[in-house]
Amino acid sequence: MKTIQAFILFLLFTNLSICQTNNQAKQGLDLEKERTPYESRKNITKFSLTSLAFRNFQFQYERVLNKTFSAGLTYSIIPKGDFPMKDMLVEAIEEEDINKYIQNSSIRYSSFTPEIRIYLGNGYGKGFYVAPFYRNTKYEINDVEIYYNAEGGGEKMVNTNGDISSNTFGLQIGSQFNLGSRIVLDWFIIGPHYGSSKGGIIGVAEDGLTSNEQEALRYELESVKSFLGKVSEVSYEVDSKGAKIDIDGPWAGVRAGISLGYRF
């Protein structure tokens, strides 16, 4: 008799356990249904549309960590070539001494930008956000032709090449929108950043420089110093072999634009 009673209790307990498990599973499915489709797609790859105007190819990967936080990494590159929007740049500067350095020179640019996003609205990679970030940037500058008065009349030229690197920290303000369950639009409203830079540009005179030619080259480099000095600290040295321009000081910039992305 006791065996039968124990068996009946066992069946009742098993049945209750199965019912409870089924109810929990059903509740989990109901919660999953309540979640919007984008919340379960935590990976977002993006490509900047606005940076293309500057021949800048910019890619970003964002990983949604939870409702509030996500982590991202952006890589940007401008292939070696003319300064982006060179004609507009020359027109905007309106300084003939500086514009002639831009005309024949070339530039290559690359940067890495890790960031942490804090979403203040809907979350899960959607809505208004603030994002502290760090940026490492490298500029390679080539074929900057600096002309000076030659001994005995006429002009000579020193062709200079070099690179500048910068490390900056900033805060991005933006908003990310869903265009359906998979397509996103990321609006970088404004992201000022500030830090330091270091680099140099070196030019070698093929025939060497006389003392008078060195003085003439120093005169030309003063205009370069005054122009670059608007964004960083600049110094230069001139000797019989050529010239060297050193850049070592503060550096600043602003992030802004629109990117189109895909969730998966």
Same domain, 13 and 89: no
Give the chain's domain count: 2
Same domain, 10 and 125: no
Same domain, 104 and 222: yes
Classify residue 23 by burial, with Cβ atoms within 10 Å: 0-12, 13-18, 19+.
exposed
CA angle (45 as vertex; 40, 49 as ends), nearest 5: 135
pLDDT at 21: 46
Same domain, 19 and 96: no
Same domain, 50 and 81: yes
**SS3 state of residue 32:** helix
Average pLDDT over residues 8-32: 47
Is 99 a residue whose pLDDT tops 90?
Answer: no
More confidently predicted of 213 and 96:
213
Q: What is the CATH number of the domain that holds 63?
A: 2.40.160
* Helix orientation angle between 211-228 and 96-103, rounded to the nearest 10 degrees: 90
Sorting pLDDT into bands at 50, 70 and 90, what band is 181?
Answer: confident
Same domain, 98 and 122: yes
pLDDT in tens, 3-17: 455 434 444 444 544
* Domain extent at residue 6: 1-34
- pTM: predicted TM-score of the whole model, two decimal places: 0.79
Is 54 a residue whose pLDDT tops 60?
Answer: yes
CB 190 within 8 A of CB 140: no
pLDDT in tens, 217-226: 998 888 777 7
